[in-house]
Amino acid sequence: MGRFPASAHPMDALRTAVSFLGLEADGVRPGDPPTCEQALELQARIPTIIAAGRRRARGEQPVAPRDDLGIAANFFWMCFGELPDDEVVEAFDTSLILYAEHSFNASAFVTRVVLSTESDLFGATAAAIAALKGPLHGGANEAVVHMLEEIAQPENATDWVRRSLDEGRKIMGFGHRVYQHGDSRVPPMRRQLERVVEARGERGWVELANAVERAMDQAKGIFPNLDFPAGVAYRLMGFETALFTPIFVLARTSGWSAYALEQAANNTLIRPVAAYAVPGSREVRRIEER
């Protein structure tokens, strides 16, 4: 990781590091099914990679993980060299559980497609990370904070939302392909966000987020998804915005691994059939050489 460009996006660094783990893995051969041991290794090493990358980007030395802490607390320790209040750790842990797996999303589909070819778990996870990087998938929680920074004040929310909708802009953190009447993961995350606010003593971001939510309800009747309260919570926890999507990876590694193990247990190559539409037959002519 010391040779990665300092300007690299954390998701690109993470994808590359996971590929390197595949190079180091003992006994991983084409056709071998993924194992629980490999899944546990990825679940342990990925938060270590993310935290080390964060500290390196800040010119700091990595902090080694502790064997007396769980994943959530250990991540704070490796990122900051200290532990926050228990309420903050619990809120973060809850967010990881809520993000861990969620229906047949793009990165889950990528994982199963790669594993269906009898490739390995490290390659499938690297491919899933690449899919999650996109702002239409995992990058939405980053976009939420960028949006709130642009709005700046609660009193600006209504005009900003109306103007953005008139311009055809997508309002990040709202709507969901599956949850048409509200994301069921939002209420538990919102409760945890309130605990973070109480622990940190900062209500400004929540008041701004609430103003945007009200403006969206009035303008379109669209509800927030998990990315909306989670993005605000991560910001109050002290994580940089560029770290939000890698945190998503930290959580979803368990879901991807579960999909991989399930796919390998009863595998069939996933090869969608495409309907190739052309504008009628075309004549092929031979071009004589001059």
User: Which is more confidently placed, 143 or 254?
Assistant: 254
Q: At what angle do helices 157-166 and 204-219 cross, to 10 degrees?
A: 50
Upper half-sphere CA count for residue 2 (Cβ side, 13 Å): 3
Asked if residue 3 has pLDDT above 70, the reply is yes
Contacts of 178 (CB under 8 A, 6+ apart): 102, 103
Burial of 187 (0-12, 13-18, 19+ CB in 10 A): exposed
DSSP 280: S
HSE-up (13 A, CA, CB side) for residue 28? 19
* Average pLDDT across the chain, whole number: 90
Query: What's the confidence (pLDDT) of residue 12?
Result: 94
Q: How far apart are CA 206 and CA 15, in angstroms?
A: 32
Choice among 166, 176, 181, 183 that is catalytic: 176
The DSSP call for residue 267 is: -
**In which band, very low, low, confident or very high, does the pLDDT at 123 lie, cut at 50, 70 and 90?**
very high
Residue 137 is a catalytic residue: yes
- Superfamily covering domain 10-25+33-136+242-265: Citrate Synthase, domain 1 (1.10.580.10)
Q: Which of 23-27, 263-267, 274-278, 286-290 has the highest average model confidence (pLDDT)? A: 263-267
Beta carbons of 201 and 240 less than 8 angstroms apart:
no
Q: State the alpha helices, DSSP H only, in the chain.
A: 10-24, 36-57, 71-80, 86-99, 106-116, 121-132, 140-151, 157-166, 186-200, 204-219, 227-237, 244-265
Which whole number is the average pLDDT over 200-206? 87
Kindly report which listed range (55-64, 134-143, 187-196, 223-232) carries the lowest average pLDDT score: 134-143
In whole angstroms, give the CA distance from residue 183 to residue 85: 28
* Tokens of residue 197, six digits: 């606010």
More confident residue, 177 or 52: 52
User: Tokens standing for 79?
Assistant: 């990122």
The more confident residue out of 24 and 51 is 51
* Res 220: pLDDT: 86
Closest to 205 (Cα-Cα) out of 233, 175, 247, 174: 233
Report, as an integer, the average pLDDT of 70-98: 96
Q: How far is CA 72 from CA 10, 66, 87, in A?
A: 19, 12, 12
Average of per-residue pLDDT across 210-238: 90
Is the full-model pTM beyond 0.85? yes
Q: Give the span between the Cα atoms of 44 and 78, in whole angstroms.
A: 12
* Over residues 207-212, mean pLDDT: 91
Superfamily of domain 140-237: Cytochrome P450-Terp, domain 2 (1.10.230.10)
pLDDT at 35: 92
Give the per-residue pLDDT at 23: 87
Integer Cα distance of 177 and 174 in angstroms: 10
Res 43 pLDDT > 70: yes
Residue 221 confidence (pLDDT): 85
Do the domains 140-237 and 10-25+33-136+242-265 match in fold?
no
Question: At CA 117, angle to CA 116 and CA 123, rounded to 5?
Answer: 95
Given pLDDT bands bounded at 50, 70 and 90, which one contains residue 85? very high
pLDDT of residue 141: 79
Q: What pLDDT score was predicted for residue 264?
A: 93
Per-residue pLDDT for 286 more than 90?
A: no
> What pLDDT score does 211 carry?
93
Q: In the predicted model, is pLDDT for residue 28 greater than 80?
A: no
pLDDT of residue 271: 92
Catalytic residue among 12, 137, 146, 181: 137
Average pLDDT over residues 96-113: 92
Domain ranges of the chain: 10-25+33-136+242-265, 140-237
* Residue that has been written with the tokens 């290794």 in this structure: 41
pLDDT at 158: 93
Query: End-to-end alpha-carbon separation of the chain, Å?
Result: 54
